[in-house]
A and B are shown apart, each in its own frame.
Chain A
Amino acid sequence: MTSTAGSTRRPEPLRRRFSRGERLVHRSAAALMLLCAGTAACLYFSPLAQLVGRRHLVVVVHEWSGLLLPAPVLLGLASRAFRADLRRLNRLAPYDGQWLRAVRKGAPGPRPAGKFNAGQKIYAGWIAGAVPLMTFTGLLMWFTGALPAISRASAIFVHDVTALAIAVVVFGHMRLAYRDPEARRGMRTGSVTTAWARKNHSRWAEEPGQRRTDSS
């Protein structure tokens, strides 16, 4: 039997990963984060500052994008799917320990994971702590003297060091996404192939009662 490449291939079975609301939360939080970090770079890094100038405008955009950064997540709490995923992100399952050990040893091959792997769970918790910290210290820089007990210099120090850490961590987050087109597709379209889910999120793929959707 002969087959014509491509034409007779059945569409790969797809699995729903993110609702429209969740993708909207991610997209708006990502846009605000890029705006906030981009303007921060224009304030800090001299060559960029020389290119862009307009310091007051850049400061205003930085302040407001930073202040609005938690808004998508807070609005997302209205979505049942988003709340359910937050619960999943929060819980360290026994197989997450295996995942972490495998990463630490640099072991090749698939590692066990639920809908989110242990790294994603730690990333979510870390960024959820780092952003309010930036908001708090940023507000102290914005409204100088609002809390006389904390000097402006201390607020700036914590804001700067945390900013550097966020730059490294968010860059890592984007690099991992860049290396996995299927994961990006999950966040872009809401669906992933079941093959990808079985390989990268085996425990989630095995969960019963999940509705399959066919690609169109």
Chain B
Amino acid sequence: MSEPESGPPIARRVMLSMLGLGAAGIVAAPFVQNGWERVLGAVSQHDPTGLSGLLPNPGGFRYYSVAASVPRKTAADYRLEIGGLVERPGTYTLGELRALPQTRIVGEARCTDGWRVPDVPFAGVLLSDLLDAAGVRAGGRAVRFTCFDGVYTESLTLEQARRADVLIALDMLDEPLTHEHGGPVRLYVAPMYFYKSAKWLSGISVTDKVIPGYWEEYGYDVDGWLDQEA
């Protein structure tokens, strides 16, 4: 009995070619990725439509939220609470935070999902200044951060929190932080992956041990240092 259609196995060849192309892509990725990112970065910087956000690895930021919706806060209703194992728990308004000495850090925003934005200026209050003002009590070992999206949390050891490159950021790209970027106030932990830099920060609590944050409960490293593979 003869087959109704016969000839070379085209579908199998196309399938195997595609698999081979993928394997070649994995091998070539470390060499071509930078060029690809530069092209996409250039495109997205001259893109008023925002459609280049559809491209993989855009040179810009991506929006991540774990909550269904995030309330908007302004200078009128924003409050940052500091509590836990401190001598003087308290609350800061946005105006009070702006009145404190400001520090500007230019650093990288690098996500575990492969995108990164180099040389991003952040400015705000050093976390260590706020901790000193509140007075960490004996037994305080770590800091837990909560957010007004109602879901996200983060953590740092006290030692990490006192670093000179850990900021309660009020400005990003030399503009007040927008809602999409976690405004009016977010954390910026320059030496770590960007998931450590919690957006929409509303609470700082000193604890006696590290309480893993939102993504860390799903297996992310509690210490998200940049200089090691995620």
- A residues within 8 Å of B by Cβ? 41, 44-47, 49-50, 53-56, 86-94, 96, 114-115, 118, 121-122, 124-126, 128-130, 132-133, 136-137, 144-145, 150-158, 160-164, 203-204, 207
Contacts and interface: CB of A to CB of B under 8 A. Distances in A.
Nearest to A49: B63
Contacts of B61: 46
Contacts of B95: none
A153 B29 contact: yes
Query: Which 3 pairs from chain A and chain B are nearest by CB?
Result: A129-B18, A160-B56, A125-B14
B10 A121 contact: yes
A54 B66 contact: yes
Interface of B: 3-19, 21-22, 25-26, 29-30, 32-33, 36, 50, 53-57, 61-70, 112-114, 180, 218, 229-230
Nearest to A89: B11
Contacts of A163: 56
A56 B218 contact: yes
Given A125-B14, A125-B18, A161 B25 contact: yes
Nearest to B149: A53
Nearest to A208: B4
Given A133-B18, A156-B113, A50 B9 contact: no
A199 B30 CA distance: 49
Given A47-B53, A53-B65, A91-B5, A152 B114 contact: yes
18 contacts: A41-B54, A45-B53, A46-B62, A55-B64, A56-B66, A90-B12, A93-B7, A118-B10, A122-B11, A125-B18, A128-B18, A145-B229, A152-B114, A152-B230, A158-B25, A160-B57, A162-B22, A162-B25
Interface of A is mostly: helix
Contacts of A121: 10-11
A137 B12 CA distance: 21
B10 A158 contact: no
